[in-house]
Each structure stands twice: as structure tokens, then as C-alpha cells.
Structure 1
Amino acid sequence: MSDSESGTKLVVPKFSSFKARDPARPTKADGGKGKQRERSHSRDRHRDKRHRSHHSQDSRRREERSSRHRERQAAPPQEPAQGPKALLEKTTSSAFVIDTKGDHLILKYGLDRAKVPAYYRYGGGRVLGTAGRLVIHREGPRDQFSLRFPGDGVGFFDKDGLRSKSFRLTRDPIRLRARASESDEDDTFLAVGSSKKRKQDERDSESEDDEGLSYRSIEGKAKAKAALESDHDSSGSEDEVVDLEHDNPLRWKSIQLNRQVKDHPGDIDAWMELVDHQDDLQRAGETIDERTTANTAHSFSEIKVDMLESALSNAIVAEDREIVLVRLMREGMKIWPSKLAAKKWSEIEKEVENNFELWRAHLDFAMSNISSFQYDDVKQMLLDRLRAVLSRAGAQEKHWEEAIYVFLRTTRLMHDSGYKELAVAAWQALLEFNFFRGGSEMPGTGMEAFRDFWESEVPRLGEEDAKGWKYHMSTGGQVEAPEPRKDNPVADIATRDAYKAWAHYELGRAQSAKLPARTMDDGTEDDPFRVVMISDIEPLLFMVPDALLQGRPGELLLDAFLIFCGLPPLFRSTPLAELAFDDQFTSSSTVTSTAVRQATLLDDPEEVRRKPPSFSRVLNAALSPGLLFTGADWFQYFGSSLTNLPVEMAFVKNVLKHLVHEAEAESLALYYLGFSFASERPLVKKPAKALLKKYPNNADLYNAYALAEFANDNVDVGKKVLVSAMEAPSLSVGAPGFQLHKSLSWEELKAGNRTQAITWLCSAFDKSLRQAQADHGSISPAVILKTRQEIVAHIHQCLYEGRANDAAVFIEGLTLLSYLTDGGNIEPTSGAQGNISAAMNAIEGMSAEFKSRGDANTRSHERMLQFGAQLLYLNATRGPFRRIYLREQLSKFLDFFPRNSIFLSLAEWADSSLRVIDETRQLLYDKILIKQHDCLSSRVFSIEHEISRGNANTAKAAFEHALSSDVCKTNTGLWIAYLRFSYAHRELRPKVKDLFYRGLRHCPWSKDIMMEAFCTLIRDMKSDELRSVYNTMTGKGLRLHLDMDEFVERWRRDRQGRDGK
């Protein structure tokens, strides 16, 4: 190696100094490069003026480090000190301290831990490795462990329980007030140099600073600095500090509520708010893709039970105790073992008798507890409640309404447990007993007369040629009994599996037993339960006073019958009607399709979005003529419920017909006509004309019949019916008369005739315009203005008089007029479209009016918004539209009615399939499937959305989320749909047997779920498992038509005989 090469060689710095030696004096070869760097630096000097101070400071720091280093090298070495003191100083560091004095408090307190006062430093009592979730608290001489409540400890955001490792360093607090400092000049520049070099300089400075801790210390420089800052922060209150780690509204609310219940333990509202707040905390720990696990939900239920028990001990007022007790028992059923829960219920037996909600919670527990469920026991529990309610009914509506609800739950239990003919017979008898009684002026209207009527076996309500109890009494019982009915034989099945054959014949017998049989009918000798005697149903019967039958109790009775039949209710005028419609034990809402759409590479996402919504799904919506009588381009009120009715469709139609024609139930006429139209569209003319003959002054029936003809594409007939009704003075007044004009205007708009649509709407207040309609003349702005003023006046008059239903009709007309005539549209439009922004402004203004009057949650308001949604959809299908605008309007509607299926379906239709994020799924998670709005119909919608838009895994997750929620976990229809869905997909089939047992555990009263073992799962079930399921059905008291042992023996014997031949 040459000397020149040796001179330019880099020198490796020594570890003790971390500094390189002074570089050698540059040679001639280096001079050129140095001059080149100098010239480059001079060219860029004008761009570095902002950083001169920064560079000068770096230079000063380097000079100081070099001078200190030279001083240490120049200092002479010191002689080691002699003696123990030198040894102590040598072995002691700032990280270790030797105690030379001892603990003088030992002599004061001794070894008795009970006498030692509690003293904690930061983190005292915590168990290592649990990040503060597990703490030790002492009660007397014993150590006990307890889990810290979420929000009270460091592990508030932990999601892994005791195994949590989410330790987080404390963040530097944000100071709202600046501190005076000698280094303020450093705050006037922004360093843009290499962060790597800057960090290296800082490490060099720390390693060479004699006053700081050694880099080898376990304390570390950063920790010491943090401790000093913490001491400084806590020493005074001059600096306002915002702690980012704990600046959380949920945590703040937890602290406030805990403080409130601690300071005021008798504040039950605060206790209940604290319990509800746990749901928010639980939801904060999950995401849309990672929901709360079962273990986490169980932990939160334990926390809520503990809080509710504390609240119960502080509840003094009886009403407060009832509220807390209902919530406590419902939460406790989630975590208590069945024996403990049964013991808890027995302890509050007296309180259950006087509290309907508490009794309903007890009933839900008795039905869903597989270890103790017995059909006869639960049935007797229902009968006892019914007798107790009727004994104190009197003239109070709430007691009669409660009795009707109990009757509905009783018949639903009978039907689901296999006693279908008994449940139907009970409804036949109750409706006959109330709506077809002779009245107080006729003798013998009591139970004795009804007993004679039932035992005579004449045609009953819902059967062909039925005349009713009233007619039977008027004729003195001289009514001929019908001819015996012949039993339809069950078709044979080709199978070698005896259990599968038994299931086939059992289901066939059950299908033919939907109605009660008579003594002389075929098949009753082998199955005597098919004949329902009066003694079987007499304990269930009661007679509602006639004055109440014309009011809300009568409406609830009809709604309860419709819900029992699997149909949407008509009136929904009472809270119990809403409860029954959404109750998982009584509602029949279920998933209609389990076939997941198979996406291909050729699928056009735009075509998927443009595909019309599913108009046939089960609806949760307000009843309106536009939903009862509609074509294939809009939602139908009955949806898919007609495809799987639990009772015969002919029976329902006959009951409605007899109630409308014989019992004078005119309020039921529109519903009956809508049901006839939905079941047999081409034959709607016959029942419509019979109704018009029965009620000739009912304008709503004329409007309904016209809409039915329009839906059947009989446009001329529908227009003729409406025009003829408009010419009748008794039919063309008020809101019903205006409804005729609005319906014809709407049909003209759908046909593309905007001018005729405007004319028909304005002719409601100017009869002379009908001639202009015939001449196809235009309407002047003055006439349009007059029409608008008249409509607005009628709206305010109806709202002032409390007629919200009539006001909704006029608001629909105002919305339609704004769409057809207003200018200044700010949304994209074409010649076939109107002013959608003006129409939505009219809807928004009227919604504000409803809200100001306290009618925001009424069915009239919901109906008005449904018309706005229909107008939005019509406008979007006729030309350009902004998807964002459509979703914004639907979001406003959902703010008022988050359970409305129409709004949800249209929001799904407007969802862009081009985005990675599923907007509908996000909407459901954020606004719909939350505790205060969660319901069965929304869960069904969520599942159907994943089936149509997602895949098998997302649909499975939707099923799981629904069946783990409080509103769906005991719904038999969802469990059966989930079983069939899982079995239909090969990747989910291995766990379908476990799923079956889960459903059986939650719904032990359901015969349909148990029969799935013999139908859907027959290939995966072993013989002993099938036998076990059969024994469970017989052991629980469910209704079976065929004895399995006898059938299997006879079937095998017959099969051996056929094989021998």
C-alpha cells in the first residue's frame, strides 16, 4: 500500500469515544473536490438562508462536544479511593439504592396485615401481566381478586381479557398554555434535514453527557425525563393539560355516571343509563367486520347484572323496582345457569303476578329453557295468566288488550308445538264469540249457548257455507251439519330409510290437519286429537264488552288474528300490536331465499345496481292503498308472506269475508280486498263489486278497486271507476274525494302524461277543468297557485283537527303538484322527469310540521314519507339522477322510521356496487341494527342483503349476528332458514349438525325445528341421534300424528313382504 493510499484511509472510531479522529490535512488530490464542493455550496447559498441559524447551532454543539472530549483526554487519571466507602460508591448506580436504615414501621404495626394501613403507589394492587385489568382488593385477612370494570382501568380498550398485551406508553400531554423556556429560540425553525442524522447527533450527545444516566442503565434517559415532566405537571395547575389517552367521551360518561350512582344511589334513572352505557362500551370495542365475541358479551352481561343488582338494592319506589327487576331478570337469563335462573324466578313469584313485562320475561324464559320446558306446563302458565287478567279486566282497555296478547301467545305456542287444529279452533271460537254474538237483547248469549253451537258441528267461521253463531241462534239451531270430509291420502315415498319415510308421512298428516276435523270425518279414528271439543278451548274464551270491541281492543283482536295467520297487521293502534308484530315468538317474518348469487367475471356492476329492488320481500311499512294494490313495479304490502302461510289461505279469506259482510266490520273491507287481490289478482272484480254493493258510500273502496284494475293493466276500467266516483257528490268530498284525483294523476304521470296529471290534480278544486282535460288544454299558473293554496289550507285544517291520516293524503297531493309544476330544479333532469328537489322540499317542510305537533312517529307521517320514496324511485327510473342525493333523502326518512323496509330496500338499490365498502352494510351497522331500533324485520333484511349482494360467508355472518341478538335468538323461522342455508352450501355443511342442536336449545317448543333432523339433515344424522330427537319431541309433549315405533315396524314388515314377492 502506498503512502498516499495510507493517508486517505478512513479511521474507525473507538467505542469509548464514539468520535472519529480529526481528519488528516487534505492533499492536492482533495483540493479540487473541496473547491468543487465550495462552489456548489455558494450556488445554493441563497436557498439555505432560512436554515443558517439551524446550521450554526449544530456547529456550536459539535464544537462543545469536541472541547469536552479534549478535556477528558487531557485530564490525568485519578487514583482509586481506599476503604468500604469507595467500594460502595463504585457498586452503586442511580438505578439501585441500598437501604441502610431499615423499615422503622415494622415495630409499629407488626406482622398483622389487618393493622397495616392501605398504601398504594401508582399501579398498586395490580397483577403483573394483566395490563391493569386484574387488581387485588382485600376484605379482612383474605386476598380476593376482582376484574376492573371497563373504562375504570388502563385496559379500557383491551379486547383480549386477562391475556391483553396492549400496553401503551403514556403520551406527552398537549399544553394549552405555553411555558417559558430558555430554548424558545429553537421553536422558530422547522428542521428539514435528515432525521437519521439528527437522531444520531442526539444519541451522541446523550452518550457523552456526564450528567445524564448511562445508556446501559435500566432506567433509560427517556423514562427519567418523562418522570420529571409528570412531577412537574402534578405539582401545579398553571398549565392546562389535555390527556389524549383518556380524552374519550365514553370514558368521560362512565366516570360521570359512576360518580352519579355513587353520590345518589337512589337515582334509578342514572343506574339504568349506566347499564345502557355498557352497550355503548361493548359496541366501541367492535367493528363492522369483527363483532363482539360470545365471551366478551358474557362479560358485559355479568357487569350489567352486577349493576342492576346494586340498583335493585337501592330501589325504594315500587315502579322503580319493577323497571330494574325486569331488566335484571332478562340480563340474568343470559349468564345464569338454568337451575339458578329458575330459583331466581321462584323468589319473585308474587311480583311476577302484578307486572306484565316481568311475566312476559318469565314466559320467554320458560319457553326457551330446554332443560325444564314442558308443553303442558307452559300452556298452563299461559292459561293462569289469562284467567288472572280477565278477573280484574272490568272496563279498562289495558287489561283486555293484555288478555288478547296472552291469547295470541297461547295459540302461537299450540301451533308451533304441533297442535295446529287446536290453535285454529281457538281463534274460530274467539272471533265467533265476540263478533257474531246476538247481543244483549237476545236470550242465551252466554257460554251455554255457544257450547251448543260448537257441539252441533255446523260450519264455523272460516269454513265454506258458514253462517255464524248469530245465525245459528236466530234459527233456533235448525242448521244442517256439513257432509263428512274425506281425508287426502299422503303420497308414497320411494326410500329405504324408515326414519325418512316416517318424517314424510308425519309431515303429510300435519299438513292435512291445519283445520279442526269433525267427528265423522276420515282419519279421526286413528288420530282423535283432530277433533276439537268445546272443553278443549273453553278455558281460552272471553267476551270483550261491546263498547270496547268498537275501539282499540277490537282493533287489537283483529290485528292479533292477522299476526297469528302470518300476515302484517292492519291497525297497529296499540303498543301491544307493535310488540306482537315485532315479537320473535309471534312474528312470522323469515328469509324467503337462501340461494346466494354466484358472481362471475362477466357481471356488470352497474347492471347489478340498476336491477330493480326486491319488491316481494316481507315488509315493515305503513299501510296505504298504493301498497295494497300495486303492480310489479312497486312493493306489495303482503310481500312474500302469502307464499308460506301457517294456515290455509282459503281459511283466512273466508274469515275476512265473513267479518266484513256478516259482522259489519267496514274498517276491514280495504284489507280484505287487498288480500283477495294479492292472492288471486285476475279475480279481484267479484269481491270488489260485492264490497261496493255492501258499502256504496265508501270512496276508499272505489279508489282501491280502480288501483287494482290499473295494476292488472285494465287502464280504461280503472279510469272509468275513478271518474264515476268523482261525479258522485257523496264520494268526491274531503280527503277520500281528493284521493280519487290524486290516484288518477299518479297513474297519468306513470304513463308519461304530465299535462293530464296536472289537470286531474287541479280538478279536485275546480270541476270545470274536467272539460279542459277532455280537450287536453294546458293549465294556467293561476289555477296551479289556487290549487296549491287549497291543498295547504286543507293540510293545516286536518292537522289542527287531529286528522293526521287525512292530512297525509293532501300532503301526497302537494308533493305531486310540486314535482309536476315547480321550476328551478337543481338536480339533473330530463323531459320525462319533474322537479324532484321541489317535491323533497315539500316533504321536508311537512315533516317538520308533523314533528312540531308531536306526530313525527305516527303511521300517517310514515305513509307520507313512503310516497316521497316512491316518487324518488319513479324519478330515478325515468332519467338521470344523483345517487348521493337519493341516499341523502332516504337517510332522512330512515332517521324518522329506521325499521321501514321500503326505505332500506331503496337505499340498497341506490348502493354503488363499484365501491369496496358496502354502503348498505355500513348503514345497517351504524343506524339500523342498534339496540333502540333493532327488530326482526331489519335482521331479515340484513340477511337477504348479504345473500343477494355478498357471499356465503357474509350471509353466514349475518345469520350469526341476528341469532345472537336479543330480538331474534328464539325465532323459529330464522333458525330453520339458517339450517337450510348452511346445508345448501358445501363449505358450511360440516357444522350444520351443531347448528341444529343450537336451534333446538333455543327453541325447544318448535316441532318444525326438530323435524329438520328428519328432513334437511336426514343424511347426516345417525339412527340413535334421530331416535334421540324423537324422544325429545315426545318427552316435551309436542304433537305427533304417528308413533315412530309402530310405523317403523309396520313399514319394515310391509317392505319385507314386497321384497319377498
Structure 2
Amino acid sequence: MYSYAIQALSSACSKRHRQVDATSEPLDSAAIQQEHLLVDMLVSLCRFEWQAGYQELATALFQAEVEFSIFCPSLLLTEQSKLRLFEHFWSSNGARVGEDGAFGWSLWLEKEEENRHKILKEESSDDNEVGGWTGWTEQVSGRNGDSIASANTVEVDVDREGLDEEMEDENGKPEDDTEAMLKLLGIDVNAAASDEVKDTTTWVKWFEEEVSRDLSQWMPTRKAGEFSRVDEMGEGEDEDQLSSVVLFEDINRFLFSLRSNEARLSLVYQFIDFFGAHMSPWTSSNSLSWSEKISSLETLPDSMLENLRSVQECLSKSDSVNSFSLGSLLSGSCDISMRTEMMKFLRNSILLCLNVFPRNHILKEAVLVAEELFVTNMKTCEVATTPCQSLAKRLLKSDRQDLLLCGVYAQREAASGNMKHARRVFDMALTSICGLPKELQYNASLLCLWYAESEIANSSSRDRDTESSSRALHILCYLGSGLAYTPYTSQSSSMQILRARQGFKEKLKKIQSAWSHGVTDDQSAALVCSVALFEELTNDLPGAVEILEHMFSSVLPGRKSQSHQLELLLNYYVRMLQRHHDDLTLSQLWKPILEGLQLYPLNPELYRALVDICNHRMTSHKLRMMFDDYSRKSPSVVVWLFALSYELSKGGASHRIRGLFERAFAQDTLKNSVILWRCYIAYEIDIAHNPSAARRIYFRAINACPWSKKLWLDGYRKLSSVLTVKEMSDLQEVMRDKELNIRTDIYEILLMQG
């Protein structure tokens, strides 16, 4: 399925690329959109392969496409010639992106050419058998890239008539439902059990070994130079080795060329996000890439966990009941060693990509955070320094004019509590900005906003008379006045504040004109936030609110919904209101959140604010009615996760929580949500303590989502007390039939026990 779709769209893009080459015209918006769609399809394929247990293939697909599109040599080649050239690289011993020693396909090719010329000089001049690039031939198609196409979803119609908030206990369901589910999976409940495995503890040990291998075997095994085709492998090569070695013929049908910088950046961003690195928001929550990511979740990403954890902390302060979090229900999905290796892999990858996108602050922040996690997990950092300090200094040494690198580095220092050092870095960057080119000076708004926000966060009080607030105002006065920056020594004078206010008015007029034509960027959004913060510090909240609402009104609704900068601005607006929630009426707090959820129905920060405000100002019944309303109008995993998190944190009744799960699965868009099924099973086991109900839900879940290996393994993790030996054996056989990647044979466990 993915193969045909990607090839068809890639063919259309290649045709447009040839037209562009012939006419020297830039790519139009339709062609760029096609490239974005290709990237999204590749990410969906990688996610599908990863969830089915083929982590090595998913990693290799990402590596191959990044090398093919980001680090391709600057040669005028047809797509077929480019593929033949890439085959030579992929089948060689050359390090690929993310691996130690990788320097990109293009540079690797240059070094290979240099080495070839050296060999030619050393050999006799009449040796005609030394071949060049033209000696390559196309490989015969071999292994099927759609490795788990047979794991298509088995649709199951579950009778949900009569489900409401007061639904009856799951114990009332007949066992015939479970037997029907087993038959749909192809399991004969009446067949005799095998005599080989005597008890469930053996299967639990198999599960533990399988999970351990899944966590460690996510990088492709390198066998370069030993063979280049499947039919060249010896008979001794077993299936495990075949699955971990990703050959060129496994990935060549999914490769495509990208011309636009927007699509190439999207590929890099989604590659980094896929492997769990911290990423500043770079796309709207209305984008296809975001909605696909949310709908296919198996576990909670860090950004979502942070928002849900904030909800639980907010509710636990006001309630004395025993509360549970969704994060705790799904804990144990990743171990430290895997996380550490992934952070090293991402650090190497991002550093390589920075050669192509040298002054990209989103990539710079991601690589610093990856370095922090890697060094911290390795336990090699000193207490007195931030783990990313040495890497940040090395990057700054290679480009001393990179102001945004200074900014993201100073933010990491401030977040670690090293505010004095953060101030030195910020001050150094702002002091040197006047001597830089105009295009670099344009980044001053981002730098000043980050600095001012770090100062506000450093203040332990909302009082505007604190030193941190005075420092923040000093920074914003510099940005508004346009004068040369000087480090803070004393409070800003009334004349400096007046000059800054006049300067901000002129700047806002220019931004409003650009925004009315649909032109938004990070720098202009940061400037608007800076002006709002300036008004908050000098004239209190009403002036800041007026500025933000005025700027929002200058953009058409259709353009608002697709701009991630305006979505970030709205999030900033809501956070500002929350800082003053004690001084505002409910309607003043309510209006921007409701309008925001109409524009961005998948925005987690808005739902977090919704719960926070409702918890202080409304009854539980009113908030539940609102969640019900949003779940009908804009059904999504995000809405249900927050609704469930609210009930769990409040210690909600079991019939209400079960009712939420069942209503979610009654919606077509959510009946195949792996994360909701996993939460439901975990709830019944860990909170409701109802293993028999969890067993029935488990069989429904694997019928609805047969591609998720993690979901199948939840049966061995959580249901070993209620599943029989025969059922566990049958489940493993069905997993193999569905072509999920099983790494451990049960006979290995029996041999270890024997």
C-alpha cells in the first residue's frame, strides 16, 4: 500500500522537478505541498513498521531518505542514476546519518572518488578493468518492503447500544464475546494445549526477553561488504539476521527526491521528533503531520506527558482523594539504555544536518537537549556545569555570529538554575548585535523575548517591583527603542519606557500590514509577545490583552488556523491570563480558550488551561459537559486523554471512566487508537483491579489494532494471571501469522530453563 502510494506521488514530483529544471522556475505551492505529503507518508510508513516490531527497517528508511534528500551530491542525475549511485553508498561500509563517523552521502562520494583516483595512479596505465560509476547496474527487486501488509486491521463491530454514563459493570458481559474474539483471531479455543510449555511463567520470561530485545535492537545491523543481495546470503543466515540487516532492495522503492527547503526541513524535524527528542513547536496542531502523530500514539510523548502531569498536579492540590495519572498507567515503555543510545544517535544526526541548515535555532535547541539527556544518562556530567555546555561552546566557537544559538544555550542554562551564566550569554549576544548584518539583527526579538521570559520565570513573585521584573523591562525597553544594548545596572527610567512604547507602536504597524497579507514568521510573533509583556509590566494586563487581540484580528481565520506562529501567540496569551487568573472574571479567562479551541481543536496547552480554569471557577459537572461537547464536535485522542486524565486525577467513579472509554471507541476515528486501548487495559488491571474485564478488553483491542506489537505484548505484561498457557501460546502464533516481528523463540527460553 505505502509502496504504490509513495511511488505514484514521487513520480508526479519528479515530473514537476524536470519541468522546473527545464524552465528554471521555482517550485509552486502545489509542488511543495506534494513534497510535504510524501514526507508525511514516509513517516506514517516508518511508524507502522516500528509499531509492528520492525524498528531496524523504520530507522533505515529514515536514514536512507535523509541521506538521499538532504545530503545528495550536487550532480545532474536522473532519478534512476541517482538511485544506482545511492545503492553503492548504502551497500558500502560508509557510516550513515546518526552513526559515529558519518559525514553525509555527498562528502562520502567525494572521498570515494579521491580514493579511486589514487588507486588508478598506483595501478598500471593499461589496466582497463578498473570501473567507474557507470559500471553499476540496477538490483533485482527482492524483499517485500511492505513487510507487514498482512497485519491489516480486522474490523470488529462491537455492540455498544445502551452505553451511557451509568453503564453496567463489565462483569455482566457473557464469556461468549471473548470466544468470538478469539475465533476472529484464528484461535481454536477447543484445541488441545501443547505439552512443551508447562506454566505461564515461561511465557512471562519469553515476554521479558522479547521486550529486552525490542529495546536494544532498533538500529540496523551493518553487514556491508559481505553481501549486497538476499540471494547472495548463505544458508546459515537465519531469519533474525535477515530482519536486522536492511538491504538496498528493502528501501529503494520508498526513496524520493525533495527540492523545497520547507519539505526537507519537515523531513528532518519529523525524523528528530520520531525518535523522541525535544522539539520546539514548528508546525500547527492542525497540520496533517501532527494529527497523524496524535491519532497513532502507542505511548505518551514527553510534551503530552508534561501537559497531563500539570493537570494532575493542579487537581491534586485541590482534592485529597487518591488520584492516578495516565503517565503512570503506561510507564515502563522505554528503558534508560535505549533512551541514551537514541539521544546519541539524534545528537550525531542533528549535528550533521546543521551543516545543511546552519543557523536553525529549532535544530540547535534539539541537539543541546539531546546532549543533555545523553550526558545525564551516562552520568558523566559535573555538578557545576550544564550537561550541554561543552557542546554549546564548541558550536559557538565555529560560528560566533549565531545569536539564536546563544539564545537557546542561555535558555538551557536558565532552566538548569544557572541564571548568572545565562545572563552573561544573553548579554554577550545582545551587546554584539549592532555590528552584525541586518538579517541577523532581525533575530533580536526572539533573543529579547527568551531573555525576558527567563527573567520572569526566575522571579518567585508576580510583583512587578522584583529585580527579575526590572531586568525583563530593561531588556524590552532596548528592543522597543532600537538603541544599542547595555547590560542591566538599574531600573528603566520613565523616558526609556516612553521611547520604547513609541518604538513598539511603529513596529506593530509594520507587522500588522504583513500579517494581513498572510506573512507570519517566528521573529514577528516574538515581537508581538514582547510588546504584550512590556505592557503587562508597565500598564498591567488590560493593555497587553488589547494588543494581542488587535493583532489576532488582523489575520483572516483561514490563515490563523494554519499558522503555528499564531498558535504559539495564542498559547502565550492564555498563559499570560493564567498568571492573573485571580484578578479576572470567568468570561475574560474563558473567551480566548473557547475561541482558540475552535481554531486549534488538537492543541494540548489549551485543554490544560481549560482544566486549570474550570477547576478553580466551575463545578465538575460543567467541565464534564464541556468535554462531552468537544468529544462530539471534534473527536480526537487529545480530548479523550484530557477527559480521562481529569477523571483519574479526581478519583472518578469506575462506571464513569468505563463510560468514557466505551464512548471513545464507539467513534469511527478512535476505535483503532492503540493508546486508548492500552490505557483501558491498564485501568482495569492497576486501578479497578478487575483482571477478567481487562482480559475481555484485551481481546477486543488486538482485534481492533492488530499491527501494534506493544499492544499484543501487554497481554503478557499485565494479564499473565488470567491468560492460560494455551492462550499465551496461541497469541504468539497469531502474532507470527500477522507478520509482527518476533525476535525470541520460546525454545530459547526452554533451553535456558533446562
Q: Give the TM-score, by structure 1 length.
A: 0.52
Tell me, yes or no, if structure 1 residue 860 matches structure 2 residue 577: no
Aligned residue type for 1:764: L
Residue 39 of structure 2 contacts residue 266 of structure 2 at CA under 8 Å; is this kept in 1? yes
Aligned residue type for 1:452: H
Change (3 A) 1:840 1:1035: same
Aligned residue type for 2:542: S
CA distance in 2, matches of 1:836, 1:585: 38
Residue 791 of structure 1 contacts residue 814 of structure 1 at CA under 8 Å; is this kept in 2? no
Q: Which residue of 2 aligns with 1:250?
A: none
CA distance in 1, matches of 2:325, 2:401: 32
**How far does residue 969 in structure 1 lie from its aligned partner after superposition?**
2.0
Q: Which residue of 1 aligns with 2:416?
A: 712
Q: Which residue of 1 aligns with 2:520?
A: 804
Q: Which moved more, 1:736-745 or 1:438-447?
A: 438-447
Change (3 A) 1:945 1:678: farther
Aligned counterpart in structure 1 of residue 713 of structure 2, from 1011, 1018, 1024? 1011
**How far does residue 967 in structure 1 lie from its aligned partner after superposition?**
2.9
Q: Which residue of 2 aligns with 1:543?
A: 256
Q: Which residue of 1 aligns with 2:626?
A: 923
Query: Deviation per CA, 1:80-122, whole angstroms, max 9, x where unpaired?
Result: xxxxxxxxxxxxxxxxxxxxxxxxxxxxxxxxxxxxxxxxxxx
CA distance in 2, matches of 1:642, 1:922: 39
CA distance in 1, matches of 2:745, 2:450: 58
Partner SS, residue 677 of structure 2: helix
CA distance in 1, matches of 2:681, 2:214: 21
Q: Which residue of 2 aligns with 1:650?
A: 344
Change (3 A) 1:772 1:973: closer
More helix, by proportion: 2
**How far does residue 978 in structure 1 lie from its aligned partner after superposition?**
2.1
Q: Which residue of 1 aligns with 2:731?
A: 1029
Q: Which residue of 1 aligns with 2:92?
A: 456
Change (3 A) 1:529 1:946: farther
CA distance in 2, matches of 1:607, 1:917: 15
Q: Which residue of 1 aligns with 2:105?
A: 469
Q: Which residue of 2 aligns with 1:555?
A: 265
Q: Which residue of 2 aligns with 1:255?
A: none
Matched residue pairs, number? Answer: 610
- What pairs with 1:515-914 in structure 2 (closer than 5 Å)? 515-519=219-223, 527-545=240-258, 548-550=259-261, 552-566=262-276, 571-572=282-283, 575-584=287-296, 607-608=317-318, 648-661=342-355, 664=358, 666=360, 669-673=363-367, 675-676=369-370, 679=373, 682-728=386-432, 729=434, 730=436, 735-750=442-457, 751=459, 752-753=466-467, 754-766=469-481, 773-776=488-491, 778-780=493-495, 782-799=498-515, 802-805=518-521, 806-822=523-539, 835-851=540-556, 854-855=559-560, 857-876=562-581, 885-912=588-615
- What pairs with 1:241-640 in structure 2 (closer than 5 Å)? 381-393=1-13, 394-395=15-16, 396-440=31-75, 446-476=82-112, 497-519=201-223, 527-545=240-258, 548-550=259-261, 552-566=262-276, 571-572=282-283, 575-584=287-296, 607-608=317-318
**How far does residue 669 in structure 1 lie from its aligned partner after superposition?**
2.6
Residue 574 of structure 2 contacts residue 593 of structure 2 at CA under 8 Å; is this kept in 1? yes
Segments of structure 2 that go 5 or more residues without pairing to the other structure are: 17-30, 116-198, 226-235, 377-385, 460-465
Segments of structure 1 that go 5 or more residues without pairing to the other structure are: 1-380, 480-494, 619-639, 823-834, 1055-1061
Query: Deviation per CA, 1:658-705, whole angstroms, max 9, x where unpaired?
Result: 211367584653452464376368322233233334444343222222
Residue 563 of structure 1 contacts residue 587 of structure 1 at CA under 8 Å; is this kept in 2? no
Partner SS, residue 804 of structure 1: coil
Residue 794 of structure 1 contacts residue 807 of structure 1 at CA under 8 Å; is this kept in 2? no
Tell me, yes or no, if structure 1 residue 991 matches structure 2 residue 696: no
Change (3 A) 1:694 1:441: farther
Residue 200 of structure 2 contacts residue 725 of structure 2 at CA under 8 Å; is this kept in 1? no
**How far does residue 880 in structure 1 lie from its aligned partner after superposition?**
5.5
Query: Deviation per CA, 1:293-335, whole angstroms, max 9, x where unpaired?
Result: xxxxxxxxxxxxxxxxxxxxxxxxxxxxxxxxxxxxxxxxxxx
Residue 92 of structure 2 contacts residue 224 of structure 2 at CA under 8 Å; is this kept in 1? no
Partner SS, residue 1028 of structure 1: helix
Partner SS, residue 1042 of structure 1: coil
Q: Which residue of 2 aligns with 1:166?
A: none
Higher-Rg structure is 1
Partner SS, residue 476 of structure 1: helix
Change (3 A) 1:773 1:798: farther
Percent of residue pairs identical: 18
Residue 223 of structure 2 contacts residue 245 of structure 2 at CA under 8 Å; is this kept in 1? no
Residue 476 of structure 2 contacts residue 534 of structure 2 at CA under 8 Å; is this kept in 1? yes
CA distance in 2, matches of 1:815, 1:407: 40
CA distance in 1, matches of 2:419, 2:529: 22
CA distance in 1, matches of 2:603, 2:35: 29
Change (3 A) 1:663 1:769: closer
Change (3 A) 1:647 1:1040: farther
CA distance in 2, matches of 1:799, 1:951: 45
CA distance in 2, matches of 1:606, 1:537: 50
Query: Deviation per CA, 1:540-582, whole angstroms, max 9, x where unpaired?
Result: 342314xx242x3323323442454356685437954344334
Partner SS, residue 527 of structure 1: helix
Residue 401 of structure 1 contacts residue 556 of structure 1 at CA under 8 Å; is this kept in 2? yes
Partner SS, residue 648 of structure 1: helix
Query: Deviation per CA, 1:591-636, whole angstroms, max 9, x where unpaired?
Result: 869x999x9xxx998942799x999989xxxxxxxxxxxxxxxxxx
CA distance in 2, matches of 1:554, 1:604: 40
Change (3 A) 1:907 1:645: farther
More RCO (CA 8 Å, sep 6+):
2
Change (3 A) 1:775 1:839: closer
**How far does residue 1001 in structure 1 lie from its aligned partner after superposition?**
0.6
Aligned counterpart in structure 1 of residue 668 of structure 2, from 966, 970, 973? 966
Residue 890 of structure 1 contacts residue 903 of structure 1 at CA under 8 Å; is this kept in 2? yes
**How far does residue 994 in structure 1 lie from its aligned partner after superposition?**
0.6
CA distance in 2, matches of 1:671, 1:772: 24
CA distance in 1, matches of 2:727, 2:688: 22
Change (3 A) 1:745 1:435: closer
Aligned residue type for 1:872: L
CA distance in 2, matches of 1:866, 1:526: 50
Q: Which runs of 4+ in 1 moved over 6 A?
A: 441-445, 523-526, 585-588, 603-606, 613-618, 640-647
Query: Deviation per CA, 1:192-230, whole angstroms, max 9, x where unpaired?
Result: xxxxxxxxxxxxxxxxxxxxxxxxxxxxxxxxxxxxxxx
Q: Give the TM-score, by structure 2 length.
A: 0.71
Aligned residue type for 1:890: I
Residue 731 of structure 1 contacts residue 737 of structure 1 at CA under 8 Å; is this kept in 2? no
Residue 50 of structure 2 contacts residue 58 of structure 2 at CA under 8 Å; is this kept in 1? yes
**How far does residue 413 in structure 1 lie from its aligned partner after superposition?**
2.2
Aligned residue type for 1:721: V
Residue 605 of structure 1 contacts residue 914 of structure 1 at CA under 8 Å; is this kept in 2? no
Change (3 A) 1:913 1:998: farther
**How far does residue 459 in structure 1 lie from its aligned partner after superposition?**
2.4
**How far does residue 885 in structure 1 lie from its aligned partner after superposition?**
4.0
CA distance in 2, matches of 1:502, 1:977: 23
Query: Deviation per CA, 1:407-438, whole angstroms, max 9, x where unpaired?
Result: 22322222222111122112111211221222
Aligned residue type for 2:217: A
Partner SS, residue 467 of structure 1: coil
CA distance in 1, matches of 2:3, 2:558: 42
Partner SS, residue 723 of structure 2: coil
Residue 936 of structure 1 contacts residue 968 of structure 1 at CA under 8 Å; is this kept in 2? yes
Change (3 A) 1:925 1:837: farther
